[in-house]
Chain A
């Protein structure tokens, strides 16, 4: 019979192999699904994974778009992973993302139409602070009153969405918008437009910030004493307490980091690719980033790769809808399969399979 035996230590080999295995299994199961839908499975999979990178017609456009799509996901996921390592479950990054965007945009629009070079940095600070402040609500409630940060941070997403709706339809609404909801478009305001740093590369400040965050998180978790405290709190809370680590400080630190990064992601998105504060500019990055964080094993480099992979399935999925007429829901199913297989194959990292004959009684 087949038995699972716990490994003493997670297998390094399998840590690397499982994502590849998961992608292979997703291709198999997804291909089967596409075939059942009456679409050519190989072509569909090639369209999703290959065409965005190498198709002669699309690649030059979609390769930079990978960075645009992955940038905010990585930036938010890095922040979340720090908290998740410490066992602090910030589910409300979407809200912090929205508040960062709203605060940053509000500060910028207050100075419209200034063309000062200081304005964009000021907006970045305001964006980070907005996200940080929104994350401090669950942090303080948790440290003061022991509330559950999962519930509080999640509920605050809905509050943030209502603030966003009110901002885009009243106090940040563009006076030139004919009464329609939506702020001024930052793309038409060069001083604060978070444009591509080099043309046709997709690199904007948000992507740069994401790369810096990856490196900083790596250093923090691998080299810094606070990183050690964070990991210790997550893996052995009692030991951490004995070692003199203050749980309250870790909570405030972790939620602060993830809130700030989510807020920054929101600011870079709203001044860059999205261009304006609208009722639903957020498009779920804060939630998708949770998937990215776990897909990347809460490891900075893993998150970098997971963010890019996630972006690839989005962009490839759009191409597959366009070129092959696949329904949108099948693409979401395909993305779901990827996560499912990744978590399922994860078992090989922590367990080994033993084949043993049943003992004869």
Chain B
């Protein structure tokens, strides 16, 4: 967030110095690689739609090429090389597993620029970008805590990686702020997108007594199950407004297009440089969908304030006092978690009763 602004101003001064990199008639070529099909209804589709918005913004000033369903690993390296060979100027690799392939190919093509989503390895021609989804999780977690009557909320996890563990911690911390008696159970389903498994997991959590279920998977299947059961949930990745006002209470929306527009603009202006972006609600990369459903007045006000405070930087979702699950101290009163710890988060906070698998 603050880093963003700092970099932006640095970029601006560079722009004034170097001027535009592209002569007239030389259309910059921007490439996107997706791990799933572009109509998967989840992660890849959002990147694709953001790419299309970006293309709309620039019109004929740029050329966009895309490749979908590219497996992570050796295939990705080949696809990236072929893109670079075909004259791409900027390549967005939109899945974590493309990290090493991106770095390898970038080393071979120093003149081509790369943007890797959700990774941590950078190079002079490789930027990384990711969203602080845990900020959104704070808001939805608070609402979940406020809405549960059974004091049990459920969580559908994909893989136990830092991104997901951060989300669970943030959800739990803020659910407890709304309701100190909340218990949270997690079901791991080892996939980011599988409507059948997601529906089963939702049902399993409902059977355990949960009446609010949050998902870190991308389909609308959990909401469909929650609707039948009269329980509550949230849109994930997309707004999923078709399930409003109930069971959908709000949503966390992936908003990549502003970033894509900003980075392609930098490419056109010749001001592109390697950056690490970890943007949240304040930067517009994490969208919070409209609050709907029978949320009590008081909770609604508190959630709105939390969202605004996170956006303005007045509140950080990981602010002490916080202990780790084993009871050891993590953050002292008023202390805020540093990005390094958050990026590699592999522990639960105190109060969670489940264990991280493996």
The chain A residues found within 8 Å of chain B, CB to CB, are 57-58, 61-62, 65, 68-69, 162, 165-166, 169-171, 178-182, 185, 187, 269, 272-276, 278-281, 283-284, 314-315, 318-319, 321-323, 325, 327-329
Contacts and interface: CB of A to CB of B under 8 A. Distances in A.
Given A273-B73, A321-B67, 19 more contacts: A61-B81, A62-B82, A65-B78, A178-B120, A178-B344, A180-B96, A180-B161, A187-B100, A276-B100, A278-B97, A280-B73, A315-B78, A322-B31, A322-B67, A322-B79, A322-B82, A327-B68, A328-B37, A328-B67
A178 B343 contact: yes
B86 A322 contact: yes
Contact of A281 (B72, B96, B346): B72
Contacts of A276: 100
B162 A57 contact: no
B104 interface: yes
Nearest to B121: A178
Nearest to A55: B85
Contacts of A181: 159, 161
Interface of B: 31, 37-38, 65-75, 77-79, 81-83, 85-86, 96-97, 100, 104, 120, 159-162, 190, 343-346, 358
B357 to A, nearest CB: 8
Contacts of B343: 178
18 contacts: A57-B86, A65-B78, A166-B358, A178-B344, A179-B344, A187-B100, A273-B74, A274-B73, A275-B74, A276-B100, A280-B73, A283-B73, A315-B78, A322-B31, A322-B86, A323-B65, A327-B38, A327-B68
Nearest to B118: A180
A314 B76 CA distance: 12
A234 B96 CA distance: 46
A-B pairs, top 8 by smallest CB distance, nearest first, are: A273-B74, A170-B358, A283-B71, A178-B344, A274-B73, A179-B344, A179-B346, A328-B68
A283 B70 CA distance: 10
Contacts of B96: 180
Nearest to A166: B358
Contacts of B78: 62, 65, 68-69, 315, 318
Nearest to B83: A322
Contact of A323 (B38, B74, B75, B86): B86
A318 B82 contact: yes
Given A274-B74, A278-B73, A179 B100 contact: no
Nearest to B160: A169
A275 B161 CA distance: 20
Contacts of A68: 74, 78
A1 B301 CA distance: 81
A279 B4 CA distance: 32
Nearest to A60: B85
A329 B82 contact: no
Given A169-B160, A179-B344, A61 B72 contact: no
A61 B162 contact: no
A151 to B, nearest CB: 21
B100 A275 contact: yes
A62 B78 CA distance: 8
A318 B73 contact: no
A324 to B, nearest CB: 10
A280 B159 CA distance: 12
B71 A280 contact: yes
A181 B343 CA distance: 13
Contact of A273 (B31, B66, B70, B77): B77
A327 B190 CA distance: 27
A281 B101 CA distance: 12
B67 A318 contact: yes
Contacts of A162: 190
Contacts of B69: 328
A319 B85 CA distance: 11
B66 A58 contact: no
Nearest to B96: A180
Contacts of A274: 73-74
Contacts of A58: 82, 85-86
Contacts of A180: 96, 120, 161-162
Contacts of A318: 67, 70, 78-79, 82
A325 B86 CA distance: 13
A179 B119 CA distance: 12
- Residue with the highest number of chain B CB atoms closer than 10 Å, among A68, A178, A181, A281: A178
A278 B97 CA distance: 8
A61 B85 contact: yes
A321 B68 contact: yes
Contact of B82 (A61, A69, A327): A61
B181 to A, nearest CB: 30
Contacts of A65: 78
Contacts of B86: 57-58, 322-323
A360 to B, nearest CB: 58
A323 B63 CA distance: 11
A319 B84 CA distance: 12
Given A325-B65, A329-B37, A169 B81 contact: no
B358 A169 contact: yes
A194 to B, nearest CB: 11
